[in-house]
Structure 1
């Protein structure tokens, strides 16, 4: 009935062998992942940094400006000169120009779109380096990733990552130089290396020196970081001054990085026009074009205004990180001072010199100049967040399930601020449908008659107009007198009787930038392009004017509108309108005629809008083409008569396909729109 126990050794071993543990699905995989996580920390960090960079780049790319933009006053110039390898405004930005040229070979979008991608890549790369810097400061991976994402989605950085500008690529080189210096500093902890140096120390020091010097080709203000670096080098290892094998190659590479500025006189001698009256081919002009550029902007405020300027800076920091971010950053800075005093002094000196200099700098777009300071402060914020998480863990360490609770709270601390940055800043910086500048000028060059003359600003602010001729050689028969002129210079008209047009003769430009139309000419709007109601530098509208020495015929009492509107505007009535068609291809135009009756001259104006929603593009117009007061004064009374204006209205290429309402309303706040027609956009 019962089996007899075998006495053989093999049978005995079989009986005594422990039972095999059943395989748990996924356990082996988790163990391998855990082993890889512990055994290959650099690979793990590289993977996380790469994921952070790809995520940030994906968001930037989704919100990237399709082509030209007015978000920056310089962006259209930088996109154009990158393609032509021309001279940008002072300080010339050679490195940016060369990098931009490389990006113009990408097989996506148009040339300006490709240069916009340079900014997206530069800002994403800076976020990767922010992660690496946080890891170098011994912050946990999750905290380092938080710091990179929280900074990457901050408002000022994001605003510069979607357009052609120097600030995002410059930030990459600022971050790279800082990371290389921290790596060099870590290597000096080896007493033998600190005393005698080695090949690795020489390479890191030389790479740092070259990167810092090269970064002046994206922004000259990076030279202001030298005092901080100098103090750090002396604190970490003053003996480097006695190590010629480290110091001499570093100085040589620094000089090599600065030699990029020879590009400016070379291109000038080759005949490339400079967008500034300064001639960089002379020694004095070279200095004034580079290191002494914009003296009127530097140290522009007296000492008694310094508190006000600091309040301005603090406001900009709050816009980017919020008040909690500022408080956490202060705590993190204090923590860094205790844990890494030398690194803290380096970061503090870099931040302090940079911040004070630009608090004393007079510029329209002052917020973007503080981006490197925001980057340095983001390191402190990441350090402060780690202090917060540690503070959460300690009291929960002895609580049942305290580890789970602490982990959940830490996750909220890391995720919610990044989510808030994305939520609040995405819509603000989504430029992906901002095609108005390109749509405007494509229709301008199509509309202009053969041999026309087109007037606009010279220098930096004229490159929206120059772009198509310089890059794509569009309409070479059209003469642009301001092309090739220096910044602030006025163009003179050809006097051979050719048809004349202007993109803005109405005085919207500051005096020193204003086009010089002949006195007494009439600027008659013939092409109007709606624009997204965002920051458009130096102009409110995209309008093409036909210039004429004779007044237009505004009065037509026999005209009858096909669309009755009867919109009252404080003494002015928009009687009605006519459209030549209600079916239009996106990017093309419809001819719009408006009929007015004047009792007095209104100041409010009207707003034309294509599409629904607050973010739809709008065009602001003055009743009667903005000419009725002068017409009434110089030609004929308009009161009691029907005033008719007619122009082509551009339907943006980014307009959603399908039926879109064309509405008109008073420019006064809260006005109710009237629907002129429902357009079928194809």
Structure 2
């Protein structure tokens, strides 16, 4: 079925390959020893060569035009260019004519034509979109097409500009002895550098976080504008430079600080480009394109995953890599270098010492460059005067003295208290992090796996192969550069092995920079070989492929341009009637917007906002504030509150305040014991796609059950379209079995009640269609679908009002892209733009398919079709029930049943009365192919978490453990579908008394591999080391594992064979604790 859509009705671009190959096989130069050719014959040969070049340009431009037509069709949903051949061919022909007749060709062709190899570099890039045109990607991916189109056109333009520069150079009379400045500037091609700057800035600005971030990013967005002191080591250089960006007249303060990282990252890429120009210009062997390896490697670094991620948020690592690149640029310089900005040995070493000292005030890992600097000194043995060495040492101390900023600014941000010298030294050396540095880490095989993965991640195996080739090139021609870069790479790699922190990837960024440098040298060496034996075209393709692939691979994954942080949440909270002078105890996720709005925008300065690292600190602060009569709100999950009364104040939880008053007539009673006294349901005042719901409960009798509050939405036909998973009341902190019953509390008086305000954020999923929905609530026991009856009846849901749901203007793309154009009676009826589903499932169980739509104009019925792919049973079809597909829908979710027979199946979509073109220029068909799904006879693994993550295997490595010891636990996971959030895995040790006596809550693989980065069905080995508390009782212990989302504290449910939730933790085994 799927194959029929691949037939196209237009001539394939491959018809141009015979012309191109014939052109490439013709002689490229005349032998100088042959007799001189008659003038008329030479003119004929020249004319023939000119027409051959024009034909090659025209053919390549035609292919480029085909790519442009497909890109417009799929990115802009242009039906004529998607389904009709004539407009496609017309646009491609127009592109061909414009390039031939537009003037650029006629201007630069004389220079380009002097060398067939150089001329190939002009038109070969226009063929970059060929894989996109021919549909060679595994899925429809307009981003890849756009990148190939832009990259090809940019390289062609750069080649033309370079040809024009060389033409002017050859035609302009030169003085017999060029000046020193001219010699310095001779090796620079400014157009490629400008292209690098514009490209990186455009990519960073289009993906830049526009608002408040989290963790360190949020801290810098607050500290930098106030010239405060950041967490140890203080980072004074970043704070002072970032302050300059806060004066920009665009964006808010948070955006400006984020933008500083984009500028610093761009600068690091430019310095790498200059280093590679100096290393490879004299031996690249690429006629006229000596800038190409440097441009490709610098752009590859700029577009690598971790480097890019740090260029779009307020963080110190972009500036750190800029300084590392500058220091390497100085260390790698030779006395005989006449490149731009060349320095004398004395000035070079003075600048090096100054930058080393200055860079230490931004990040202490600059110290890892000291071995390279020492090696350069031993290698060069510069003969400098004592005064020159004194100046160098003084400049280094001067740069390092910027740390005095921390000491001088400390009183201004700490109520006038000065730092003691010991505290200052501990602060600027990061004393609190020293425990994470384990000098035996190199013995840990997991650390080797982590570092190896993080070094392979930015450039892939192809990049590592080019880096190995670059090492060979440096060993043959630049041994000093090999030694200095090698020492630097080993230093940062070893640091990655020894430093146990979750975000170790950012500490390896200088090693990524060294890899990019080696890649640039490798590209130059490979290009030299290829250009001599296979023409310039192969070298151009090799150089361009790596950075272009990184752009389309990482762009969508790193794009934060739509993230608004939690600013709206913070504004909503600070608009609530919070008690004056009250305290909010928050986690880092919720502390960030509150503190930013208070410190930067001046909202609610009377509130005391507190953030701690330990639960014990929160408990101590809570007890102290309550004892002092202060109102305390929680903006975080805090267990073991000892039965303190609580109530919701919006999304906050007020602790220690029990409402007492007279109760009116209840709206409803659940289970005859719990009364619903009132409801407040309002739309979000900041335009978010959500509603705020506050329920007022009253326990008329003691409640023994631990109940969950569930909310659901019903359409006009009374059909339940969405239901929440259910949460404990009052933000999960006040379970129903802890509620005081009316008139039952100590000292309670007759007629007194103890109502409980319970807040819920009602956030309908994106796949819920536009419309008005009735809102109902219910109380349910955990992991049970049978709720408490309402008013003594069998109905378990109670209607509390209605809400209007609208579709957002833009929605994030689903994991898999598609472009399927549906039509009815030859009129367009909408596009299927993406899907998300699990790649495998068990026979006969519920199976969820998410679909993304665009421009739906009609309401029709939709079916999901399973087609068996086994050869002897191909064509066996099972169809799902019919689903209504509304007009203007942007997302739809369909829960179907997997086939009862195991095997490999192809999944299709069918819309009643409509045909579909499932590929560009494909013939219309009835079925739209989605993906292949493997149906297994029985579920694999030990536990299924929400059909997202499968626990494949688990091992408790010690049968017995002593009090205060560490228990090694090994887990193996597998993603069942794309995961768009970073979940936290927990390993809990539950003792014989049912209490928790040890836990580790962290992202997988020691925090280094968050679930949002998992690829496909990759198996993840995840080791844990859980500390057993010394005060734990001896006896039999169980090990519980599970997942939760830190932002909401919601756990992923464990599903049984039928897809029903049976719990939120899984017991992997038991062990004994002995004294």
TM-score bracket for the superposition, by shorter chain length? 0.7 to 0.9
Judging changes above 3 Å, is the alpha-carbon distance between structure 1 residues 488 and 374 closer, same or farther for their aligned structure 2 residues? farther
The structural deviation recorded for 1:201 is 3.0
Q: Is the 8 A contact 2:332 2:484 kept in 1?
A: no
In 1, the alpha carbon distance for the partners of 2:481 and 2:772 equals: 59
The yes-or-no answer on 1:213 pairing with 2:357 is yes
Q: Is the 8 A contact 1:454 1:500 kept in 2?
A: yes
2:434 is paired with a residue of what secondary structure? coil
Q: Radius of gyration: which is bigger?
A: 2
The structural deviation recorded for 1:343 is 0.9
The yes-or-no answer on 1:502 pairing with 2:646 is no
In 1, the alpha carbon distance for the partners of 2:689 and 2:582 equals: 22
Q: Is the 8 A contact 1:584 1:681 kept in 2?
A: no
Q: Which residue of 235, 254, 265 corresponds with 1:123?
A: 265
The structural deviation recorded for 1:560 is 6.9
Unaligned runs of 5+ in 1: 1-18, 191-197, 397-402, 508-516, 528-542, 562-574, 609-617, 638-642, 669-674
Q: Is the 8 A contact 1:149 1:418 kept in 2?
A: yes
Residue in 2 aligned with 1:534? Answer: none
Deviations, residues 58-105 of structure 1 (Å, cap 9, x unaligned): 1111111112112xx212112211111111111111101101111111
Residue in 1 aligned with 2:192? Answer: 48
The structural deviation recorded for 1:520 is 3.3
The structural deviation recorded for 1:55 is 1.0
Residue in 2 aligned with 1:445? Answer: 574
Counterparts of 1:155-304 in structure 2, within 5 Å, are 155-183=305-333, 185-187=334-336, 200-236=344-380, 238-240=381-383, 242-268=384-410, 270-273=411-414, 281-291=419-429, 293-300=431-438, 302=440
Counterparts of 1:97-496 in structure 2, within 5 Å, are 97-138=239-280, 140-183=290-333, 185-187=334-336, 200-236=344-380, 238-240=381-383, 242-268=384-410, 270-273=411-414, 281-291=419-429, 293-300=431-438, 302=440, 305-396=443-534, 403=535, 407-449=536-578, 451-457=580-586, 462-480=591-609, 491=621, 492-493=624-625
Deviations, residues 484-537 of structure 1 (Å, cap 9, x unaligned): x9x978644265655432211435xxxxxxxxx96533554444xxxxxxxxxx
The yes-or-no answer on 1:591 pairing with 2:692 is yes
2:633 is paired with a residue of what secondary structure? strand
| Aligned residue pair count | 575
Bigger relative contact order (CA 8 A; separation at least 6) = 1
In 2, the alpha carbon distance for the partners of 1:460 and 1:558 equals: 37
In 1, the alpha carbon distance for the partners of 2:539 and 2:696 equals: 64
Q: Is the 8 A contact 1:335 1:383 kept in 2?
A: yes
Residue in 2 aligned with 1:615? Answer: none
In 1, the alpha carbon distance for the partners of 2:275 and 2:415 equals: 39
2:606 is paired with a residue of what secondary structure? coil
In 1, the alpha carbon distance for the partners of 2:588 and 2:805 equals: 41
Q: Is the 8 A contact 2:708 2:726 kept in 1?
A: no
In 2, the alpha carbon distance for the partners of 1:67 and 1:172 equals: 24
Query: Which 10-residue stretch deviates more, 643-652 or 322-331?
Result: 643-652
In 1, the alpha carbon distance for the partners of 2:525 and 2:434 equals: 43
Query: Which 10-residue stretch deviates more, 286-295 or 454-463?
Result: 454-463
The structural deviation recorded for 1:328 is 2.0
The yes-or-no answer on 1:26 pairing with 2:107 is yes
In 1, the alpha carbon distance for the partners of 2:293 and 2:309 equals: 24
The structural deviation recorded for 1:558 is 5.5
In 2, the alpha carbon distance for the partners of 1:127 and 1:605 equals: 52
1:425 is paired with a residue of what secondary structure? helix
2:458 is paired with a residue of what secondary structure? helix
Judging changes above 3 Å, is the alpha-carbon distance between structure 1 residues 501 and 582 closer, same or farther for their aligned structure 2 residues? closer
Judging changes above 3 Å, is the alpha-carbon distance between structure 1 residues 287 and 633 closer, same or farther for their aligned structure 2 residues? closer
2:583 is paired with a residue of what secondary structure? strand
2:332 is paired with a residue of what secondary structure? helix
Q: Which residue of 218, 223, 228 corresponds with 1:81?
A: 223
The structural deviation recorded for 1:138 is 1.3
Residue in 2 aligned with 1:564? Answer: none
Q: Is the 8 A contact 1:458 1:488 kept in 2?
A: no
The yes-or-no answer on 1:68 pairing with 2:191 is no
1:451 is paired with a residue of what secondary structure? coil
Q: Is the 8 A contact 1:505 1:523 kept in 2?
A: no
RMSD of the TM alignment (CA)?
A: 4.6
In 2, the alpha carbon distance for the partners of 1:664 and 1:173 equals: 58
In 2, the alpha carbon distance for the partners of 1:43 and 1:333 equals: 23
Judging changes above 3 Å, is the alpha-carbon distance between structure 1 residues 595 and 186 closer, same or farther for their aligned structure 2 residues? farther
Deviations, residues 254-276 of structure 1 (Å, cap 9, x unaligned): 111011011122222x342299x
1:501 is paired with a residue of what secondary structure? strand
Judging changes above 3 Å, is the alpha-carbon distance between structure 1 residues 348 and 418 closer, same or farther for their aligned structure 2 residues? same
The structural deviation recorded for 1:302 is 2.3
In 2, the alpha carbon distance for the partners of 1:421 and 1:599 equals: 57
Residue in 1 aligned with 2:805? Answer: 678
In 1, the alpha carbon distance for the partners of 2:762 and 2:735 equals: 24
The structural deviation recorded for 1:381 is 1.5
The structural deviation recorded for 1:353 is 1.3
Deviations, residues 631-674 of structure 1 (Å, cap 9, x unaligned): 2244359xxxxx9944456899xx9xx96999999999xxxxxx
Judging changes above 3 Å, is the alpha-carbon distance between structure 1 residues 448 and 48 closer, same or farther for their aligned structure 2 residues? farther
1:493 is paired with a residue of what secondary structure? helix
Residue in 2 aligned with 1:7? Answer: none
Q: Is the 8 A contact 1:455 1:503 kept in 2?
A: yes
Q: Is the 8 A contact 2:209 2:560 kept in 1?
A: yes
1:480 is paired with a residue of what secondary structure? strand
1:294 is paired with a residue of what secondary structure? helix
Judging changes above 3 Å, is the alpha-carbon distance between structure 1 residues 359 and 621 closer, same or farther for their aligned structure 2 residues? farther
Q: Is the 8 A contact 2:304 2:550 kept in 1?
A: yes
The structural deviation recorded for 1:473 is 1.7
Q: Is the 8 A contact 1:67 1:112 kept in 2?
A: yes
In 2, the alpha carbon distance for the partners of 1:471 and 1:584 equals: 22
Judging changes above 3 Å, is the alpha-carbon distance between structure 1 residues 299 and 648 closer, same or farther for their aligned structure 2 residues? closer
The yes-or-no answer on 1:547 pairing with 2:655 is yes
Higher strand share: 2
TM-score scaled to structure 1, two decimals? 0.72
Q: Is the 8 A contact 1:77 1:464 kept in 2?
A: no
Deviations, residues 439-485 of structure 1 (Å, cap 9, x unaligned): 111111111435152323599995543222222221123333569x9
TM-score scaled to structure 2, two decimals? 0.47
Judging changes above 3 Å, is the alpha-carbon distance between structure 1 residues 627 and 348 closer, same or farther for their aligned structure 2 residues? closer
Query: Which 10-residue stretch deviates more, 36-45 or 297-306?
Result: 36-45
In 2, the alpha carbon distance for the partners of 1:592 and 1:394 equals: 72
Q: Is the 8 A contact 1:64 1:432 kept in 2?
A: yes
